[in-house]
Structures are given as C-alpha cells and as structure tokens.
C-alpha cells in the first residue's frame, strides 16, 4: 500500500508541476533518470566464498520546489531499483523520498518540518550503496530555529529539534561476549530530542571563528534502558588563505553515555584543507574524529582521513580519485574495533545538455577485531543519466 501511495503521489505532483509553470517561477520541477550497470566480485560482502554478480540499477527522480517570501516547501521523490543476474535475493526496491516545509513565524524565528523515507546503511564499515547493507528507514523531524545578527556582524543561532525514526526489520551479525559474532534481528525504532547553539564571529573578510554546542537524547523502542545521551562542544576557525587555499579547523570535547552506561568525555576534532587551481585542479584533504551511531544503535568514536583529487579535462570531462581510511571504536556493551578503507576512481563525460556518462571503479577493504564483518570488494560500474 505504501508503494502504491508513493506512485500516486509522484503522478499527482508531476501534474501539479506542469500546471504551475507561470512567469514568476515560484514553482520549479526537475526530472532525472539514471541506469547503472554494476559488476562486483563480492556481492554479499563476505570474508570468504565471494560471489561475483552483475546488477542493473534503475534510479528515477523528481525534484519539486515552491518558494515564496515567507515560506518554502519541497520534495525529492525517487527510488533505487536494483536487479541482479545470478543472485535474485539481492533484488529489492528502495524508496528515496524527502519532503520538507519551512516558514518564518516571527522575525528571526522559523520552523522546519521534514520527512525522509530513504535507505540507510546497516553497518558503518561497509558501502552504503551495497544492497546487502541497505535497509529502508523513515525519519520525521521538526526544528524550531532562532537566528539573530549581533553587533560586529556576529550571528547567533539557537535550535530545538525532535525526531521519530522507524525502519524495516533486518538481521545482522553483532559482537557478543568475548567478541564472538552473534546473529540478531533488529528494528531500529527510536524517538529523539535535542538542541544546539551556534555563534559565528567574523574576524575579517577572510577569517571566522565558530563556536557550536549541541546535545541529543535518544530513546529506543527495543527494550527498557535502551537510550543514549550525547553532548559536544566545538570551537573552530574558517579561513580563506592566499593561493586559492581554504582551511577549516575545529576541536573540542564530547560526552557519550551509551545505553544508560557511565558516560565519559571524549576529545573531538575535524580539519579540512582545500585548494582549487585556475586550471581546473581541486584537492581536498580532510580529517574527522567524532561520535557516530550505527543502525543497530551501537555508539562509536569514529576517525576518518580522506583525500580527494579532481581534475577538469576540458569543458565536458572530469576525473576524480578519492582515498580514505576509517577506524571505529565501539563504546557499547561489547567493545570492538573496526578498521576499513578504500579507493574510488571516477571519470565523467557530459554527452549533451541532458545526458551524462560516468565510469567508476572502487576497492573497499574492511578489517578489525570483529572478523564477521571483514571483507574485500572490487566494483566497477557504468552509468548513463538523464536530467531535464
């Protein structure tokens, strides 16, 4: 019934979009479709007995926006439909729909409502576009935000958020006593509330100091005592440097209280250095150390380093190379350490105003103390996309 409703909604909003193409263009709409052929040597992300398969993904999408001076509403309606040649258990239908509305209710005070019905990765150490690592989820969120400009072009923002998260039931291996793998069934449903405060203080045209603090409380439906309380505070600097360089630095502390256990402070930080050359070469180097939570509800301290190099090869062609390495240290009931990384090479060619061709290759390697989720995977894909 949910799929039928989504199809009817797509047809309804498409008709409304065509009917409201007036001169003022308050209403805009864009359609796109992508077909992607994927060859992988480890379709099920297993440490042994790897299975090779060929899959074809069909990805339709419709984007809608309606804006006025006081409010805006929008929708991003799409789906991902993979079909595999040999292993039909990998076939599935994933909806990727997001709707939102935002309105000002008082000078500086606004409210935003959103609902995202999208697939989420089950394991953080595996690709989020692997069918075996995807589960359909829904997140409905409300935010009340207050913004005010202070003397000296400083900006102060406060926000209060509340969310409800629901997902389909899935099975996965998790660490048990002694580090042994235990198969469990999970339905990642929870309610969440929190808030944040942010102060931006421009020092001059090229440098800005940023302070942000936030707290989040999450209560899981699964059992009594299944709750998290996370809080963090960060002090950062954003700088535009000579020679096309941009630098972002932030550091601080967070407090993580997983599932009602004793919380403890954790050092947090992130850094990103980017450089863009007039010849079309762009380089981004990033580091992040933060608190993250997987779909099961396990809490981790995650550390990631990433390097991306992108080069324009003329007006219609570009190439990029991305390499990363990540470590996850579990702070839940059964501690574990996960280490993974990978490399991706992408070549894009704009065939016409509406059509684009993309070729890519990705290698992913996962290792760590929890052997059940260790795997190696190579994947190559060819994608043709159309965008109106």
pLDDT at residue 146, as a whole number: 98
pLDDT at residue 177, as a whole number: 56
Which one has a higher pLDDT value, 349 or 220? 349
Domains and CATH numbers, the chain: 26-387 (2.40.160)
Tens-place pLDDT, residues 127-152: 999 999 999 999 999 999 999 999 99
Which one has a higher pLDDT value, 93 or 297? 93
pLDDT at residue 16, as a whole number: 44
Mean confidence (pLDDT) of the chain: 88
Tens-place pLDDT, residues 69-98: 889 999 999 999 999 999 999 999 999 999
pLDDT at residue 335, as a whole number: 61
User: Is the torsion defined by CA of 64, 135, 334, 262 positive or negative?
Assistant: positive
| Percentage of the chain exceeding pLDDT 70 | 86
pTM equals 0.86
* Strand positions, DSSP E, the chain: 27-40, 53-67, 71-84, 94-106, 109-121, 134-150, 154-167, 170-175, 181-186, 190-202, 207-220, 227-241, 245-257, 264-276, 281-293, 299-312, 317-330, 337-350, 355-368, 375-387
Q: How confident is residue 185, by pLDDT bands cut at 50, 70 and 90? A: confident
Tens-place pLDDT, residues 24-61: 568 999 999 999 999 999 999 998 889 999 999 999 99
């Amino acid at each position: 019934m949910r799929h039928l409703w989504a199809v009817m909604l797509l047809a309804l909003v498409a008709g409304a979009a065509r009917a409201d193409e007036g001169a003022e263009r308050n209403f805009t709409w864009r359609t796109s479709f992508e077909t992607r052929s994927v060859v992988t040597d480890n379709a099920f992300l297993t440490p042994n007995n790897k299975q090779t398969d060929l899959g074809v993904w069909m990805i339709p999408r419709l984007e809608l926006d309606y804006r006025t001076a006081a409010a805006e509403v929008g929708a991003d309606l799409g789906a991902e439909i993979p079909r595999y040649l040999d292993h039909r258990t990998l076939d599935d239908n994933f909806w990727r729909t997001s709707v939102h509305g935002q309105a000002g209710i008082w000078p500086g005070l606004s409210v935003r409502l959103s609902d995202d019905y999208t697939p989420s990765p089950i394991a953080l150490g595996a690709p989020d576009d692997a069918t075996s690592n995807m589960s359909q989820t829904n997140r409905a969120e409300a935010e009340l935000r207050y913004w005010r400009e202070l003397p000296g072009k400083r900006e102060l923002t406060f926000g209060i958020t509340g969310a409800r998260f629901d997902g389909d039931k899935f099975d996965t291996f998790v660490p048990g006593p002694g580090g042994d793998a235990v198969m469990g069934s999970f339905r990642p449903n929870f309610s969440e509330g929190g808030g944040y405060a942010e102060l931006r203080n421009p020092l001059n045209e090229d440098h800005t100091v940023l302070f942000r603090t936030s707290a989040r409380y999450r209560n899981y439906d699964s059992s009594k005592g299944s709750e998290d309380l996370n809080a963090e505070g960060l002090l950062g600097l954003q700088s535009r440097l000579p020679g096309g360089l941009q630098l972002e630095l932030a550091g601080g502390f967070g407090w993580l209280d997983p599932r009602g256990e004793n919380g403890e402070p954790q050092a947090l930080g992130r850094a990103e250095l980017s450089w863009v050359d007039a010849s079309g070469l762009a380089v981004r180097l990033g580091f992040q150390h933060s608190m993250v939570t997987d779909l099961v509800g396990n809490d981790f301290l995650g550390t990631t380093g990433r390097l991306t190099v992108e080069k324009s090869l003329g007006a219609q062609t570009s190439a990029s190379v991305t390499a990363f390495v990540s470590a996850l240290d579990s702070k839940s009931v059964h501690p574990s350490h996960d280490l993974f990384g990978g490399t991706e090479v992408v070549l894009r060619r704009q065939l016409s105003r509406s059509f684009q061709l993309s070729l890519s290759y990705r290698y992913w390697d996962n290792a760590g103390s929890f052997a059940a989720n260790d795997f190696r995977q190579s994947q190559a894909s060819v994608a043709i996309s159309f965008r109106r």
